[in-house]
Amino acid sequence: MATKLAVLTSGGDAPGMNAALRSVVRAAIYRDWNVVGIARGFAGLIEEDFRPLFRRSVGGIIHRGGTMLRTARCEEFTTPEGQRQALAFLERIGVERLIVIGGDGSMAGARALAEAGLATVTVPGTIDNDMAGTDYTIGFDSAVNTALQAVNMIRDTAYSHERIAIVEVMGRHSGHIALSTAAACGAEFVLVPELDFHMDDLTEKLRRCRYDGKKHGIIIVAEGVMSGYELAERLHDVTDYEPSITVLGYIQRGGAPSAYDVTTASRMGDLAVDIAAEPGAGHLIAMRNNRIEAVPYAEIGDAKRGLDMELYQLIDELSM
Ligand code: F6P
């Protein structure tokens, strides 16, 4: 009987998840496997919501943001009872292998199922790019490019009105989007959750910029530090600046994936199927030193991917 593979997307959606799905489905069918898609992440395993997927089922999605399978964050699945239910369901429908596309929380779920004996492989997908074990997660490049495009438009008006533009970007616990956006747009200052923020450092930087003849500026703040509105108030309290505030929000998670995200998703999805075929599969598909490889869950620590401090220094150095 043909091997049966299930695939799901879980956690926050990210541009490129559909391209990863397309790759998984077609690579598996190329091997003569049967594929089922689980709806709404791990919730679909508990609600038993699935459908068979064929080559044509994943046609016309390579360029689409979001995920055609839909996604969710499922509390019930984090309990032993939820996981037992999910395993029983997969066994009943004859699924022997599972590919999960998502971030850290999703990998934790896939890992729990692997420890219970199911072959699982995780494809990293989150705009935050903060997962342990991999240098890159699908969706990050697209999210940063979306943020950059927006900031470049905001900069036009900040220049014309001689204002400080505060732009709040996503990242409740992680500053990678803020940092890369700040570097790419040449921001004067960036606030990230990983580093302590001192108002004096910001006001001193703005003072030096003004002394040097700069009449406008851009501050990128990750949502996990404080809101753009709060930062504007605090800045207003100690300076005579009247900042403009823009919250980019969910536009960073939507939209067409970049070329980099589509090709990375396609390559990662294909390797995920190869690894799922091996006995004892329990791996994350990771980007390490620009190479895509499979890393056993057991070799991945708890530490989230650290911030690039060299890039942080560079932003400061080049923005005067
Ligand atoms: O997907 C990542 C992310 O956008 C984080 O940057 C943010 O902290 C979180 O998801 C917000 O997710 P939601 O609003 O869907 O709960």
**pLDDT tens for each residue of 281-318:** 899 999 999 999 999 999 998 888 999 999 999 999 99
How much is the mean pLDDT over the chain? 96
Does the structure show a pLDDT above 90 at 59?
yes
Total residues found in the chain within this entry: 320
The pLDDT value given to residue 242: 81
Share of the chain above pLDDT 90, in %: 92
Does the structure show a pLDDT above 90 at 145?
yes
The pLDDT value given to residue 302: 86
Active site residue 200: no
CB of 207 shorter than 6 A to ligand 1: no
Does the structure show a pLDDT above 90 at 185?
yes
C-alpha angle 179/183/185, rounded to 5°? Answer: 115
- Sheet strands (E) in the chain: 4-9, 34-38, 50-53, 97-102, 119-124, 164-169, 189-191, 217-222, 244-247, 282-288, 291-296
Mean per-residue pLDDT, 87-114? 97
Share of the chain above pLDDT 70, in %: 100
Q: Please identify, by atom number, the ligand 1 atom nearest to the C-alpha of residue 177.
A: 6
Burial track 50-66 (b if 16+ CB lie within 10 A, e otherwise):
beebeeebbeebbebbb
End-to-end CA distance of the chain: 66
Mean per-residue pLDDT, 263-280? 96
Mean per-residue pLDDT, 249-267? 98
CB of 12 shorter than 6 A to ligand 1: yes
Cα dihedral value 295, 91, 84, 73, nearest 10: 60
CB of 13 shorter than 6 A to ligand 1: no
Does the structure show a pLDDT above 90 at 137?
yes
Residue from 107, 238, 70, 218 nearest 158 by CA? 218
CB of 250 shorter than 6 A to ligand 1: no
Catalytic residue among 13, 104, 128, 130: 128
Does the structure show a pLDDT above 90 at 240?
no
The pLDDT value given to residue 169: 98
235 contacts: CB under 8 Å, gap ≥ 6: 164, 166, 199, 202, 203, 241, 243
CA distance to 3, 7, 53, 72, 135, per residue, from 69 (Å): 21, 9, 11, 10, 26
The pLDDT value given to residue 58: 98
Q: What is the largest CA-CA distance in the chain?
A: 75
Model confidence over 191-223: pLDDT tens digits? 999 999 999 999 999 999 988 988 899 999 999
